[in-house]
Amino acid sequence: MALAPAADTRPIPIVELEFVNAPIADIVVAIASAAGVAIVVDDTVSGYASYYFDPMPFDVALEAFARRFGLFVSRDNGVYTVTAALISFVDDALTIDAPSVDSAALVRAISRASRTPIVHAFAAGMPVSLFTDGASVEEALRRIAAQLPDAEIAFRDGVYRIAPVRPAPDHAWRTPPVTVDAAGFSVNTERASFVDLLTALFVAGEREYHLLKRSNPMIGPVRVNRRSFDDALRLIVERADASFTVVDGVYYIADATPHAALARSIVTEVIVLRSIAPAVLLDLLPPDQTTDVTIRADRTDDRLTITGNPMSVARIGDLVDLLDVPPAGRGYHRFDLETIDPTQLHALLPRHLAGLPITAVSSSRIVVLTTAERADELRRFLSAIDLPIASTLIELEYIRLDQLIANLHSATDRMAIVPTGDPSRFFFRGDDAELLRFRTRLKHIDRPLPQIRYQLLVIEYKQGRTLDWDASLSNALKTPDSTQAFLAVLGNLLSLSFDIVSTFGYQFAVRLNSSLSDASATVLADTTISGTSGRQVSFQNTSTYRYRDPVIDPETGVTRPTGVVREITSGLTLQIEGWAGASDSVTMDVVATVSRRGSEGVAKGNPPPTSEKVVRTHIRTTAGTPVILSGLIQSETDSSSRETPLLGRIPVLGWLFRGMVRSRESTELAVYIVPYVDRDRTDRLGVEQQMLDVLDSFNRSATADTR
């Protein structure tokens, strides 16, 4: 599973979180989601846990949680990966660190890492542990099979297979497998289960053990002759891919690494404090060091009771030894750092503070045993150099956050951006100088794209008649200033929003008006479309026809409709993608598609034929200068049959009541496009004002032409 916030952003510190008996994988995903980072949890992570998180940085919380439950964390390109099996495959050799992982998930992980096909025939939920350094794939699989009940591996046709074998008959000891004498312990068996042999050894040695290993593999033969108890035990557990450690006389037996054994055993240690009060010590301990232990403070006799795995308890004990020092007039003082690395603090201290005993208890906290006066000096010094990084809320005006990040060439600027839930708002983390530089760069990125307004006029001319707007008019207008003449000559153009007169001149307007009057031209589209530079706009004026497929009944011969419906779309589709350049130039990619539906077959219920013409062009023009697309000529011959009901089906005589209608029509489509850059009109003129504007343009154009 994966989450997708921006991988380059810094994790947000998590707040107080508590999980009770929740899936471990879900806990990891939940804290990553709270921190706003991307994370991948593979299928080797399983099990349930109860866990409490203090408010802390995400990296610290994830590391502490992973260490508590034996997980491995890596980070690549800002994406975290959490797994329970650390696997590398180099030069045909496997290096694996996998404590207590489901066998099926581990086999899948090995198969992915080595690119080797492996079939695992055991049910899920059977944990195994595997630790190798340079092992082959077959050797690793054999070690896994040794931990599964009666398992064997086979290799055939390039595929490994791990499957159970027929269970062996119940074993009855003919002779005791473990004997003991003055010289030591002896073990002699051909084949036995790990638990049976372990029990026999500890019974003979009269020792106490705690088994943390879940699997019970069959091992053998085992030959041990007069060895010490620990040597005999070590030889047995190594055959079962296990290990042991001794804590307070109790043997803890778990998977092959001491770390796994210690991490899963529970011990309790009582520490008596000499010089520091329990409440003061608990306040000094960092939260990330105490997440996997339980500490109880007894204030009556200054004791701490620490419960957890031996490694964690030992770590807390070491911290207590560092802090529990006789003060001699000094006291403990805690300092939480914002930006300074505690390990680098000594190199930054002035001379009068260089000798302070500073203990780094976490990646962001130090404890200093000193006097109150010296602590105040250190606090003043840290307040001057350990300055928190300021966060400033910035709002974008014209672009989104993802567009801003894509246009930032500085990796520092990208890392300083903390996104919010709003794509137009984010936080910038940096000082005043960095913020000023960032705002300067932002002014050149967060700018409005030029707006392009396209005026469209699409006219269909019949019988191949088109208008040339450069042609002259033979009958000149005698009184260009006459309003009546204007209404008579251009009356059909008043309803158009396209400014014909200003764009093409009054001669073209007069001829177009005449064509509209005698129906030799039809306006298919008269509209205005606006869009930003570099974005595609589209216009569609189509009709959709639906037809049901007919079928002939084989028994009656009657044609009846079926449930199959077909659709035919015809009309005009226009797509324009324009870029505004310097000096108001506009470059456009234009695609015009015209489809036409015929009428042949409609009378019989069959879908008619269709035709389609497409024009593609790449053109550059100046804003306000028209572009004309023509040549979309279609010549259609339609035929349809008609008949009088009933009479048309009479043999021979029926011809008198049937007829065939054929028609031929030629049309040409002309598309007129006028682009404008950033000239949107904010006011909408009334009809009367529009007529006056057109009349004024008409008179100016007519006067110029007559001269």
Residue 284: the pLDDT is 75
pLDDT above 70 (res 133): yes
In a domain, 290, yes or no: no
Question: Which segment of 98-102, 361-365, 504-508 scores lowest on mean pLDDT?
Answer: 504-508
* Pair (462, 567) in one structural domain: yes
Residue 593: the pLDDT is 85
**Runs of H (alpha helix) within 273-393:** 278-284, 310-323, 345-348, 372-385
Positive or negative torsion for Cα 379, 380, 381, 385: positive
| Torsion angle (degrees, nearest 10) of CA 271, 275, 277, 282 | -60
Q: Give how far the C-alpha of residue 250 lies from the chain's centroid of Cα atoms, to the nearest Å.
A: 49
pLDDT above 70 (res 347): yes
Are 89 and 30 in contact by the 8 Å Cβ rule? The answer is no
pLDDT above 70 (res 470): no
Domain, as residue range, for 395 = 391-447
In a domain, 595, yes or no: yes
Residues paired with residue 610 on neighbouring β-strands, in sequence order: 597
| Average pLDDT score, the chain | 76
Q: Give how far the C-alpha of residue 47 lies from the chain's centroid of Cα atoms, to the nearest Å.
A: 26
CA distance 565 to 584: 49
DSSP 569-606: EEEEEEEEEEEE-GGGEEEEEEEEEEEEE--TTTTTTP
Which of 35, 50, 83 is a domain's end point?
A: 83
| Torsion angle (degrees, nearest 10) of CA 383, 389, 393, 394 | 130
Q: What is the CB-side half-sphere exposure of residue 443 using CA atoms within 13 A?
A: 5
* Three-state secondary-structure class, residue 551: strand
Choice between 313 and 387, residue whose per-residue pLDDT is larger: 313
Residues paired with residue 88 on neighbouring β-strands, in sequence order: 95
CA distance 31 to 588: 49
Q: What share of the chain is helix, strand, coil (3-state, %, to 5)?
A: 30, 40, 30
Per-residue 3-state assignment (H helix, E strand, C coil) for 312-343: HHHHHHHHHHHHCCCCCCCEEEEEECCCCCHH
Residue 174: the pLDDT is 52
* Pair (459, 603) in one structural domain: yes
Choice between 344 and 598, residue whose per-residue pLDDT is larger: 344
pLDDT of 235-254, one tens digit each? 888 888 788 888 777 788 87
Q: What percent of the chain has pLDDT over 90?
A: 1
pLDDT above 80 (res 701): no
Tell me the CA distances in angstroms from 344 to 165, 243, 606, one per residue in order: 59, 39, 86
In a domain, 374, yes or no: no
Q: How confident is the model at residue 486 (pLDDT cuts 50, 70, 90)?
A: low
Residue 83: the pLDDT is 92
pLDDT above 60 (res 270): yes
Residue 123: the pLDDT is 59
> Rounded to a whole number, what is the distance in angstroms from the first to the last CA of the chain?
78
Which residues make Cβ contacts (< 8 Å) with residue 650, sequence separation at least 6?
657
Q: Give backbone dihedrals phi and psi of 690, rounded to 5 degrees, phi first.
A: -60, -45
* Pair (62, 130) in one structural domain: no
pLDDT of 489-507, one tens digit each? 566 666 677 777 667 776 7
Q: How confident is the model at residue 648 (pLDDT cuts 50, 70, 90)?
A: low
pLDDT of 314-331, one tens digit each? 888 888 887 777 666 777
* Pair (76, 147) in one structural domain: no
Which of 255, 278, 299 is a domain's end point?
A: 255
Residue 700: the pLDDT is 57
* Pair (142, 193) in one structural domain: no
pLDDT above 50 (res 8): no
* Pair (503, 441) in one structural domain: no
* Pair (546, 636) in one structural domain: yes
* Pair (439, 536) in one structural domain: no
In this structure, the number of other CB atoms found within 10 A of the CB of residue 569 comes to 14
Are 707 and 489 in contact by the 8 Å Cβ rule? The answer is no
CA distance 617 to 193: 81
The CATH number for 250's domain is: 3.55.50.10
Q: How confident is the model at residue 102 (pLDDT cuts 50, 70, 90)?
A: confident
Residue 167: the pLDDT is 45
* Pair (160, 187) in one structural domain: no
In a domain, 493, yes or no: yes
pLDDT above 70 (res 683): no
Peptide bond preceding 326 in cis form (omega within 30 of 0): no
CA distance 557 to 551: 9
In a domain, 44, yes or no: yes
Query: 7, 14, 2, 1: which is closest to 415 by C-alpha?
Result: 7
pLDDT above 60 (res 4): no
Structural domain count of the chain: 5
* Pair (66, 204) in one structural domain: no
The CATH number for 132's domain is: 3.55.50.60
Choice between 685 and 251, residue whose per-residue pLDDT is larger: 251
**Amino acid found at 396:** L
**Beta-strand (E) ranges in 85-241?**
86-90, 93-102, 118-120, 127-135, 151-156, 159-164, 178-181, 184-189, 192-193, 209-211, 218-219, 222-227
**Runs of H (alpha helix) within 643-686:** none
pLDDT of 195-240, one tens digit each? 888 888 888 888 888 777 767 788 878 888 888 998 889 888 888 8
In a domain, 54, yes or no: yes
pLDDT of 534-559, one tens digit each? 888 888 888 887 777 777 777 777 77
Residue 32: the pLDDT is 86
Q: Which two tokens stand for residue 272?
A: 């008596």
CA distance 502 to 696: 10
Q: C-alpha angle 321/324/330, rounded to 5°?
A: 140
* Pair (150, 194) in one structural domain: no
Question: Which segment of 51-55, 73-77, 559-563 scores lowest on mean pLDDT?
Answer: 559-563
Query: 394, 442, 434, 443: which is closest to 412 by C-alpha?
Result: 434
Q: What percent of the chain has pLDDT over 70?
A: 75
Q: What mean pLDDT do residues 301-319 have?
A: 78
Q: Pairing state of beta strands 184-189 and 151-156?
A: unpaired
Q: What is the CB-side half-sphere exposure of residue 665 using CA atoms within 13 A?
A: 14
* Three-state secondary-structure class, residue 502: helix
In a domain, 184, yes or no: yes
Q: Pairing state of beta strands 86-90 and 48-53?
A: unpaired
pTM to 2 decimal places: 0.38
* Pair (202, 158) in one structural domain: no
Query: 611, 388, 624: which is closest to 504 by C-alpha?
Result: 624
pLDDT of 168-194, one tens digit each? 444 445 566 888 888 889 988 888 888
Q: Give backbone dihedrals phi and psi of 313, rounded to 5 degrees, phi first.
A: -60, -40
Q: What mean pLDDT do residues 294-298 have?
A: 76
In a domain, 513, yes or no: yes
Which of 59, 83, 107 is a domain's end point?
A: 83
Q: How confident is the model at residue 260 (pLDDT cuts 50, 70, 90)?
A: very low
Residue 256: the pLDDT is 66
